[in-house]
């Protein structure tokens, strides 16, 4: 195990000592320094953006909406990365947790009048609970069987929600509007989503830097070897799966509230699940910064193409083509490929 | 509905399902590809049949002679374009799933762009007639589709059993590297198998075009259905696919009869889920693990 530990840790660092292969202290300190600066700067940007944006953009509500979407996808793809990237178990069913979060918060609002913003932690926990059960079942399979099982899980839940009268079935559930001046309407959603996104990135960062994260990477490298070296692979995977559901649930709760109308297909559409996967893959599976880069890039490209060419079905074609191109030409994604060639700027090296 | 009627309808539909799934299971057998785009390719053929019917009034069964070769060509082209590149990848099977997932998205988007999301169907003369046998109702369209399907399945079986290429395909299914050692050009065989799988998808698309109304996003329902029945039969086993198709078609007919048509897809999703968990190797196949 100790040998494995060393190997895994050193391969992640760009510059190593030529003699014993250990990272140079100066490089490590320098990296940590600019990583800290990078993280603080992006954090400040996220928090101050609604203020900075006021004088710059005419269509304030639109800009806030795009900002919220970016944060939402950061939250989702970073979470998905915990099981799909670190542990290497590709799930195409994570739309389920988005829906659990959205519907649990929506029902709490519609039936008991609890604000989804207050309900946020419970929405996350609900998603996590479902994730635990779903993980216990689906993670009995591996590789392609796991992918297929998660798709089956998605369709099972969709069918159930579509036919469940209590939550409005396929026609949906209406939520009361938030009581807020129209010009600033998007701001609370933006900040709530910022909390969810920062939580997801923080969780992902903490996992990447923990023994638990190391275990997950060992599982993704070679599950049998990981098991032999004493990792309880089954529980590692189930816990990773369950944790990955939490901030997808919170994102679903906020997003559902911002829509004021919940329909099963909004959450369960395979395109939603596909996007999380795509963002994590294009940014770099198994890295902390990758899903963030991927989310910003894909939301940006999507908004640009919608503004330029209108809301057409060609957007889904673009999603598919980007996925194909990434898989064929740089399967490690942007962050992974840059790191591999030693060109990753230190402020993006969050691992 | 009486049991004999359910059984007959289930068997007829099962025949079509079996043919739809045979291409998918062939691809998995030869190349270890879980082709999530299979149903999307079936839909391409359905739309092609639709165009031919609307513009040239070509009978959907006759249009098989056009859709099958076209889809064969498309299959070979896609294989050569995409798959040699990822052959050496350490996570090959997983890569193929993601790759075909991307393909499915592309096909769905293009179809929606070209044909919009509205329901289409091809209505030849026999689409609304039926044959009466005592108490039993047999819709002509299902009877024809099923007959064509079984004929194609027999054809596939004969090719695999009696031709030299078929032997090479079976050898590749059993052991890829051993086949290579005895002189099988594995890459050529893979391209051929991909083409054959797509040709079968083409035939399936033509037949489905007059059995069910279709729209671009429908391929997700179909792929779940197809995966569930080949997982039940055992991936890579064509015999298993046929038996899985017949069993599930009958099961879903019973569910439809008892709980109503909205719940019929649950048969497939639940089966898929349960089989993967309880017996990943299916009834006849090798264990679906890495």
Q: Which domain holds residue A283?
A: 269-351
Residue from the list A151, A315, A331 with its beta carbon closest to the beta carbon of B89: A331
CB contact under 8 A, B262 and A321: no
- B286 interfacial to chain A (CB closer than 8 Å): no
**In terms of domains, do A212 and A297 share one?**
no
Is the residue at B175 inside a domain?
Answer: yes
Tally of structural domains, chain B: 1
**In terms of domains, do A255 and A299 share one?**
no
**In terms of domains, do A342 and A227 share one?**
no
- B95 interfacial to chain A (CB closer than 8 Å): yes
**What part of A 44-73 touches B (C-beta under 8 Å)?**
none
Nearest to B132 by CA among B142, B140, B121: B140
Whether the pLDDT of residue A24 is over 60: the answer is no
Block residue for tokens 């054809």 = B155
Is the residue at A120 inside a domain?
Answer: yes
CB contact under 8 A, B273 and A152: yes
Is the residue at B255 inside a domain?
Answer: no
At residue A56, the pLDDT reads 76
At residue A33, the pLDDT reads 72
The pLDDT tens digits for A187-217 are: 899 999 999 999 999 999 999 999 999 999 9
Most confident of A163-167, A326-330, B39-43, B185-189: B39-43
Q: How many Å lie between the alpha carbon of A250 and the closest alpha carbon of chain B? A: 27
The pLDDT tens digits for B53-91 are: 999 988 999 999 999 999 999 999 999 988 888 877 777
At residue A18, the pLDDT reads 42
Query: Looking at residues A331-349, what average pLDDT do you find?
Result: 82
The pLDDT tens digits for B35-58 are: 899 999 999 999 999 999 999 988
**In terms of domains, do A249 and A100 share one?**
yes
Among A24-33, A97-106, A123-132, A271-280, whose mean pLDDT is lowest? A24-33
| Rg from Cα positions in chain A | 20
CB contact under 8 A, A316 and B108: yes
Q: Percentage of residues in chain B with pLDDT exceeding 90?
A: 29
Query: Looking at residues A251-264, what average pLDDT do you find?
Result: 92
Report the alpha-carbon distance of residue A98 to residue A267 in Å, rounded. Answer: 6
Within its chain, how far is the Cα of B222 from the centroid? 9
The pLDDT tens digits for B88-134 are: 777 787 788 889 989 998 999 899 989 888 898 888 878 788 888 77
Whether the pLDDT of residue A4 is over 50: the answer is no
Q: How many Å lie between the alpha carbon of B35 and the closest alpha carbon of chain A? A: 10
Is the residue at A12 inside a domain?
Answer: no
At residue B290, the pLDDT reads 33
**In terms of domains, do A340 and A282 share one?**
yes
> What's phi and psi for A22, nearest 5 deg?
-90, 150
At residue A20, the pLDDT reads 42
Whether the pLDDT of residue A5 is over 50: the answer is no
Q: How many Å lie between the alpha carbon of B273 and the closest alpha carbon of chain A? A: 6
Interface mutation vs chain B, best among A327, A329, A330, most B CBs within 10 Å: A327
**In terms of domains, do A174 and A198 share one?**
yes
Interface mutation vs chain A, best among B101, B229, B267, most A CBs within 10 Å: B101
Whether the pLDDT of residue A137 is over 60: the answer is yes
Is the residue at B79 inside a domain?
Answer: yes
Where among A267, A292, A317 does a domain terminate? Answer: A267
**What part of A 302-341 touches B (C-beta under 8 Å)?**
312-321, 323-324, 327-328, 331
Most confident of A6-15, A322-331, B256-265: A322-331
CB contact under 8 A, A148 and B106: no
Where among A267, A302, A325 does a domain terminate? Answer: A267
The average confidence (pLDDT) of chain B is: 86
Is the residue at B106 inside a domain?
Answer: yes
Interface mutation vs chain A, best among B95, B105, B256, most A CBs within 10 Å: B105
Report the alpha-carbon distance of residue A49 to residue A194 in Å, rounded. Answer: 11
**In terms of domains, do A82 and A220 share one?**
yes
Q: Name the more confident of A34 and A149.
A: A149
At residue A254, the pLDDT reads 95
Query: Looking at residues A90-115, what average pLDDT do you find?
Result: 93
Tally of structural domains, chain A: 2
Cα torsion at A256, A259, A260, A264 (round to 10°)?
-60
Residue from the list A90, A143, A271 with its beta carbon closest to the beta carbon of B290: A143
Whether the pLDDT of residue A287 is over 50: the answer is yes
At residue A7, the pLDDT reads 40
CB atoms within 10 A of CB A341: 9
- B80 interfacial to chain A (CB closer than 8 Å): no
- How many angstroms separate the Cα of A270 from the Cα of each of B101, B117, B223? 10, 16, 13
**In terms of domains, do A209 and A291 share one?**
no
Does the reported pTM lie above 0.80? yes
Is the residue at B38 inside a domain?
Answer: yes
Q: Please classify residue A31 by burial: count the beta carbons closer than 10 Å to its beta carbon, then call 0-12 exposed, 13-18 middle and 19+ buried.
A: buried
Is the residue at A26 inside a domain?
Answer: no
Where among A215, A238, A267 does a domain terminate? Answer: A267
Nearest to B26 by CA among B183, B152, B170: B170
Is the residue at B278 inside a domain?
Answer: no
Q: Which residues of B touch A331 (CB under 8 A)?
A: 89, 95
Q: Name the more confident of B201 and B139.
A: B201
Whether the pLDDT of residue A23 is over 60: the answer is no
At residue A134, the pLDDT reads 93
The average confidence (pLDDT) of chain A is: 84
Is the residue at B225 inside a domain?
Answer: no
Residue from the list A162, A270, A281 with its beta carbon closest to the beta carbon of B220: A270
Interface mutation vs chain B, best among A313, A315, A330, A332, most B CBs within 10 Å: A313
**In terms of domains, do A309 and A319 share one?**
yes
**In terms of domains, do A82 and A144 share one?**
yes
Is the residue at B251 inside a domain?
Answer: no
Q: Which domain holds residue B10?
A: 3-218
Is the residue at A314 inside a domain?
Answer: yes
Query: Looking at residues A228-235, what average pLDDT do you find?
Result: 90
CB contact under 8 A, A147 and B97: yes
At residue B286, the pLDDT reads 55
Q: What is the ipTM for the molecules in this complex?
A: 0.84
- A156 interfacial to chain B (CB closer than 8 Å): yes
Q: How many Å lie between the alpha carbon of B93 and the closest alpha carbon of chain A? A: 7
Among A20-29, B104-113, B190-199, whose mean pLDDT is lowest? A20-29
- A281 interfacial to chain B (CB closer than 8 Å): yes
Report the alpha-carbon distance of residue A59 to residue B109 in Å, rounded. Answer: 30
Q: Percentage of residues in chain B with pLDDT exceeding 70?
A: 96
Whether the pLDDT of residue A110 is over 60: the answer is yes
- A140 interfacial to chain B (CB closer than 8 Å): yes
At residue B284, the pLDDT reads 65
């Amino acid at each position: 195990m100790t040998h494995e530990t060393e190997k895994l840790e050193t391969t992640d660092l760009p510059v190593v000592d030529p003699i014993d292969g250990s990272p140079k202290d100066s490089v490590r300190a320098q990296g940590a320094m600019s990583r800290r600066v990078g993280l603080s700067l992006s954090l400040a940007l996220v928090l101050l953006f609604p203020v900075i944006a006021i004088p710059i953009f005419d269509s304030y509500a639109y800009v806030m909406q795009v900002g919220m979407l970016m944060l939402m996808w950061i939250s989702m793809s970073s979470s998905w990365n915990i099981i799909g990237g670190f542990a290497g178990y590709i799930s195409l069913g994570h739309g389920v947790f988005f829906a659990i979060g959205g519907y649990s918060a929506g029902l709490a609002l519609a039936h008991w009048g609890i604000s989804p913003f207050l309900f946020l932690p419970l929405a996350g926990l609900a998603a996590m609970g479902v994730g635990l059960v779903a993980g216990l079942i689906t993670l009995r399979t591996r590789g392609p069987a796991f992918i297929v099982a998660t798709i089956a899980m998605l369709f099972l839940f969709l069918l159930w929600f579509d036919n469940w009268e209590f939550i409005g079935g396929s026609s949906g559930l209406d939520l009361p509007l938030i009581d807020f001046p129209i010009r600033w309407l998007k701001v609370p959603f933006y900040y709530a989503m910022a909390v969810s996104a920062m939580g997801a990135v923080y969780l992902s960062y903490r996992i990447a830097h923990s023994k638990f994260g190391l275990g997950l990477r060992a599982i993704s490298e070679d599950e049998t070897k990981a098991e032999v070296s004493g990792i309880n692979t089954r529980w590692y995977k189930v816990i990773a799966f369950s944790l990955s559901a939490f901030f997808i649930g919170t994102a679903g709760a906020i997003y559902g509230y911002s829509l004021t109308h919940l329909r099963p297909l909004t959450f369960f559409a395979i395109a939603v699940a596909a996007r999380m996967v795509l963002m994590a893959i294009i940014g770099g599976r198994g890295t902390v910064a990758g899903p963030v880069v991927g989310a910003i890039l894909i939301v940006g490209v999507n908004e640009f193409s919608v503004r330029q060419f209108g809301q057409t079905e060609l957007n889904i074609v673009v999603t598919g083509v980007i996925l194909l191109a990434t898989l064929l030409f740089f399967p490690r994604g942007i962050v992974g490929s840059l790191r591999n060639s030693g060109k990753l700027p230190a402020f993006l090296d969050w691992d | 509905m009486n049991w004999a009627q359910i059984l007959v309808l289930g068997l007829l539909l099962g025949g079509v399902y079996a043919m739809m799934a045979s291409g998918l299971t062939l691809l998995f057998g030869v190349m270890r590809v879980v082709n999530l785009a299979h149903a999307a390719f079936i839909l391409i053929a359905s739309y092609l049949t639709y165009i031919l019917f609307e513009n040239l009034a070509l009978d959907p069964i006759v249009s098989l002679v056009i859709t099958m070769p076209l889809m064969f060509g498309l299959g070979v082209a896609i294989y050569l374009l995409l798959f040699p590149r990822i052959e050496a990848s350490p996570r090959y099977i997983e890569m193929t799933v993601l790759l075909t997932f991307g393909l499915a998205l592309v096909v769905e988007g293009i179809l929606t762009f070209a044909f919009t999301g509205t329901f289409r169907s091809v209505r030849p003369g026999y689409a609304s007639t039926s044959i009466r046998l005592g108490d039993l109702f047999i819709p002509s369209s299902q009877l024809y589709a099923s007959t064509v399907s079984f004929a194609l399945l027999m054809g596939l079986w004969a090719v695999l059993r009696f031709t030299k290429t078929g032997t090479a395909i079976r050898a590749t299914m059993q052991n890829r590297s051993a086949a290579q050692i005895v002189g099988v050009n594995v890459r050529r065989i893979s391209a051929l198998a991909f083409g054959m799988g797509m040709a079968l998808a083409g035939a399936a698309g033509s037949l489905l075009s007059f059995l069910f109304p279709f729209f671009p996003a429908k391929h997700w329902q179909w792929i779940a259905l197809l995966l569930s029945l080949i997982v039940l039969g055992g991936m890579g086993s064509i015999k298993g696919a046929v038996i899985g198709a017949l069993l599930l078609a009958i099961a879903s007919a019973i569910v439809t009869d008892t709980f109503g048509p909205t719940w019929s897809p649950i048969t497939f999703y639940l089966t898929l889920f349960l089989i993967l968990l309880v017996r990943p190797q299916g009834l006849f196949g090798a264990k679906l693990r890495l």
